[in-house]
Amino acid sequence: MTELQKPEGDNRDVRWRWPAIHPESYKYLAIASGIALIFFLLGWEILAWPMLGVVIWIASFFRDPVRVTPTEEGLIVSPADGLVTLIRDVPPPIELAGPEGLGEELMTRVSIFMSVFDVHINRAPIGGTVKRVVYISGKFLNADLDKASEENERQHLMIETRDGHRVGFTQIAGLVARRIVTFIKPGDMLVAGQRFGLIRFGSRLDIYLPPGTAPRIVLGQKAIAGETIIAKIGEGDRAFGVPQ
């Protein structure tokens, strides 16, 4: 193969691009930009420059980069960018439990903490039909705490694949995050990696793996939404890692 040839069927133009900014940011950018402009016009540069920094931070917070999602059957990919802070065996949430939900067995919950510096667009962990979307009002505790899964404001979702597997996941608000945004509803069809929502500003996302499915991801690992493989349905060999 010469250096000018590409593998058959691979004609993508792969290069770095500035990420897009999600439309959810527009009103915040308009407000912050307006305030910065007023400060500049009034000659209050000591306030204007920090406000301009806020504008840049908002644009960064709502960035929406392109992601390349693996298409192998049965793969569960990360629904969020962030740090894997908890991996525990727990009962499914009451809102997702039962015979028409995730059942009653213990299942592995992987928790991904999103800081204010992470991309906050959430993506579907697997393709299928949205079966449940359940919003629960609650507290705004530190999202790093284990009890945030039961006490914080949150939104539970469940997808059923075409071969009947069900995967549950939960958007959880935190100390700073005060707004859970979801773009989907029950009955919608999603593909793995498709954008389904976001949380403003920083928080956590839990994903519940089907019984008999072990995580391929480890504590302390950085997850990338739509790309990092969390697990493969039916594979029970858990991954381990070494911080270095």
Active site residues: 203
DSSP code per residue over the chain: --TT---TT--------PPEE-GGGHHHHHHHHHHHHHHHHTT-HHHHHHHHHHHHHHHHHTEE--------TTEEE-SS-EEEEEEEEEPPPGGG-BTTTTBSS-EEEEEEEE-TTS--EEE-SS-EEEEEEEEE--B---TTSTTHHHHB-EEEEEEE-TTS-EEEEEEE--SS--EEEE---TT-EE-TT-EEEEEETSEEEEEEPPTT--BSS-TTPEE-TTTSEEEETT----------
CA nearest to 131, candidates 96, 107, 183, 81: 96
